[in-house]
Amino acid sequence: MMADWFDELAEKEEQRRKHAHETEERRQRERVLIQQHGRRALENLRTAVGEFVARYQKRFPDKHEHVDLSLGANGGFTIRRSGIPAVRVACVPNLEAGEIRLIYTTQATSDTAEKSAIEFLALHGDTPETLHFGDSRANEYADVGEVCGLILRPVLFPQLTVGSDSAD
């Protein structure tokens, strides 16, 4: 009876170590998967973002609030919206880490300084078919269109999204 505490804690420690080992193995498999197939997921995302930017340009052809997409290094890209507020997001991939940094820069008026914020997207999955994006708030996105919405809302529709929670 006196040694029960030891056996109970030793069993919990074995379970903890087993779980940590399984988690590390899963992360390693995911890293390999992302390194092998992440570029295709990123290309699909960049293509879909380009389609949404083209839809915006067609629907809102105002030259004072123009939106453009430029390709960057390692499959990254930048979306810029001119006008007031001016908004820019740079998508900077790091496939080795399985993540994409989203660096948002906003300038509310021509007289104010730019403000920046960083968000992260991560790639997850067990197979190439299940590879998907998630964000830093533990949201998972099965559809690339949802990821585009996450990335593009603050750029394409800043008056409807940036600072909208401060109006409460």
State pLDDT tens for residues 57-97. 999 887 677 899 999 888 899 999 988 888 999 999 988 87
What's the confidence (pLDDT) of residue 165?
A: 41
Decide if pLDDT at 152 tops 90.
Answer: yes
Distances (CA, A) of 126 to 1, 23, 69: 44, 13, 31
pTM: 0.77
What's the confidence (pLDDT) of residue 166?
A: 37
| Sign of CA pseudo-dihedral 150, 156, 162, 164 | negative
Tell me if 103 sits within 8 A of 89, measured CB to CB.
yes
Give the pairing type, strands 99-107 and 140-141.
unpaired
CA distance 120 to 93: 10
Domain boundaries, the chain: 4-167
Helices 4-59 and 144-156 pack at an angle, to 10 degrees, of 60
CA distance 89 to 102: 6
What's the confidence (pLDDT) of residue 164?
A: 41
Per-residue pLDDT band for 48 (boundaries 50, 70, 90) equals very high
What's the confidence (pLDDT) of residue 33?
A: 81
**Tokens of residue 14, six digits:** 């074995």
Mean pLDDT of the region 106-129: 85
Decide if pLDDT at 2 tops 70.
Answer: no
Instruction: Provide, rounded to the nearest whole percent, the portion of the chain with pLDDT above 70.
Output: 93
Q: What is the CA radius of gyration of the chain?
A: 21
Tell me if 29 sits within 8 A of 126, measured CB to CB.
yes
* Mean residue pLDDT across the chain: 85
| Sign of CA pseudo-dihedral 71, 87, 156, 140 | positive
Instruction: Provide, rounded to the nearest whole percent, the portion of the chain with pLDDT above 90.
Output: 36
- In the three-class reduction of DSSP (H, G, I as helix; E, B as strand; rest coil), residue 71 is classed as strand
Per-residue pLDDT band for 28 (boundaries 50, 70, 90) equals confident
Decide if pLDDT at 162 tops 70.
Answer: no
